[in-house]
Structures are given as C-alpha cells and as structure tokens.
A = this chain, B = another copy of it.
Amino acid sequence: MLETFETVSKAVADRSRARILKLLEGGELCVCQITTVLDLAPATVSKHLAMLKVAGLLQQRRDGKWVYYRLAERDLNHCARKFLALIGGCLNEDPAVEEDRRILAMVNAVPVQVLCDQGRAALGPNAEASKATTCCGGPV
C-alpha cells in the first residue's frame, strides 16, 4: 500500500505530469498532441506518460500509428482513483493549466497528421508569440 501510494504520489508530484493529467480531463489525446501542448521532447513526454500509466493513472490505446492516452477509468487502484479525484478539483484556475487548454483548443483544430508533421508550427504563427503579446491578432 505505501509502495502504491508512493508510486502514485510521486507520479503526480511533477509539474509536467500534473499538466498532462489536467489536459486529459478533456478526453483522450495522442502523444504528439500532448507533446505539442507541453512543448517538450517526445522522449520526455513518453517517459512521463509511462510513469503515469505505471501508477495506474492513465490507460493507453493504439489506433494505427498513433497511441492515445486517457485518464484511467477501470481497473485503477484505490489510491490512483483518489488522486485523480483530487486533481480534478485542483488547478482549474491555474494560469499554466489554462494556457495549456488554450493551446489544446488550437491543437484540436488541426488534423493529427498535420500536427505530427509540423509540430507547433501547425498551430499558426501566433501560438508561440501569444504568451508575450495579446494585443493585436492574439487569440481572445
């Protein structure tokens, strides 16, 4: 039990992984979508996802070339279930999480294939700059 608790809590106790969990509250995403939002190397994201999966927080599904991850719904340990519930009630107004959701909206507007080919460039020239300037042409 303590081992499970430690695994799950350590999985959650990282900025990038917390962001991933919050992202997936909106539904399943493939690795390249998550990678684009987080703006990290694919290897890094893959490792984070593996860790969350080992902790029982995520589940996986393959669809052709793409691998989709989602929040665990069945067969998850007691501990993981509680942590997911906790996180669901946290961070909803966090600026970084909100920014991720904003980027995710753009990501969802682009076919996965294009995203894999172009990465963040597929989101248009404003996706990156919008962090600094929101005056003219920036979203919202």
With contacts A12-B13, A13-B12 taken as known, whether A5 is within 8 angstroms of B90 at the C-beta atoms is yes
| Interface SS majority for chain A | helix
Q: Does A14 contact B (CB under 8 A)?
A: yes
Number of copies: 2
Which residue of B2, B15, B96, B97 contacts A96 across the interface (Cβ within 8 Å)?
B2
Residues of B within 8 A of A12 (CB): 9, 13
Given A13-B13, A83-B86, 12 extra CB contacts under 8 A? A1-B94, A2-B15, A2-B91, A2-B96, A2-B97, A5-B94, A6-B13, A12-B13, A79-B90, A82-B86, A82-B89, A86-B86
Q: Give me the interface of A with B, judged by CB distance under 8 Å.
A: 1-2, 5-6, 9-10, 12-15, 18-19, 78-79, 82-83, 86, 89-91, 93-97
